[in-house]
A and B are shown apart, each in its own frame.
Chain A
Amino acid sequence: NAGVTQTPKFQVLKTGQSMTLQCAQDMNHNSMYWYRQDPGMGLRLIYYSASEGTTDKGEVPNGYNVSRLNKREFSLRLESAAPSQTSVYFCASRVETLMNTEAFFGQGTRLTVV
């Protein structure tokens, strides 16, 4: 009963380093999302993918890229990390074609950029 799995759980990067956050879901959901959570800001959408092969920008896409590798996996890449990207990152998935369905979240990745 895995649901949405994110790796890693914690990461420290130096400014300018790159990394990829991994996300996989086993619920056969068509839509997947990346959010970041910052104090006082709530959850802000970075990118999302409504279906395999498509991706769209959210509210705060600058500095990030995504790949929808297949229906299960949706990765988030930071090409050149900046201290402003220190945050907790959440991946989520959902059946978006049904308006009344909720999103399921992973446990989060706590990223610190020094």
Chain B
Amino acid sequence: GNSVTQMEGPVTLSEEAFLTINCTYTATGYPSLFWYVQYPGEGLQLLLKATKADDKGSNKGFEATYRKETTSFHLEKGSVQVSDSAVYFCALCPGNTPLVFGKGTRLSVIA
């Protein structure tokens, strides 16, 4: 079946540190891939997406590249800020069906 596995948190970083949150997936066909962010007390917001192999999604300094050969979509940011503290979800869409989400990774950035 379709599934998403992302690294368990929580992840705690100092401001300006480099961030990587790993995400791997299992899916039939060629899914679209997404990263969502959830700030405290809010709903999920789309952070970035990629719809085919080798695509790079980017937004607000975050990037992720769709790697079909390793079935991965790792989230990276070169220099995190306190305001990036949130829960990050990796998700895939295998077709005309609901999105499948990972369990989320909580990031805390300390000044």
Chain B residues 57-111 with CB under 8 Å of chain A are 89, 93-99, 101-104
Q: A40-B103, A102-B34 are in contact. Are A45 and B98 (CB under 8 A)?
A: yes
Interface: B12 (CB within 8 A): no
Count, chain A residues at interface, CB 8 A: 26
Cβ of A107 and Cβ of B89 under 8 Å apart? no
Q: How far is the CB of A90 from chain B (nearest CB, A)?
A: 6
Question: Which chain B positions have C-beta within 8 A of A43?
Answer: 44, 89, 101, 104
B93 in complex: contacting residue of A41, A58, A99, A108, CB < 8 Å? A99
Question: Which chain A positions have C-beta within 8 A of B89?
Answer: 42-43
- Report the nearest B residue to A50, measured CB to CB: B96
Interface: A70 (CB within 8 A): no
Question: Which chain A positions have C-beta within 8 A of B51?
Answer: 99-100
- Report the nearest A residue to B48, measured CB to CB: A102
Cα–Cα distance between A43 and B36 once the two chains are bound (Å)? 12
Interface: B26 (CB within 8 A): no
Question: Which chain B positions have C-beta within 8 A of A105?
Answer: 36, 43-45
Question: Which chain A positions have C-beta within 8 A of B32?
Answer: 99-100
Question: Which chain A positions have C-beta within 8 A of B96?
Answer: 50, 96-97, 99
- The contact string, 1 if C-beta is below 8 Å from chain B, for chain A 1-44, is 00010000000000000000000000000010101000011110
Question: Which chain B positions have C-beta within 8 A of A96?
Answer: 96-98
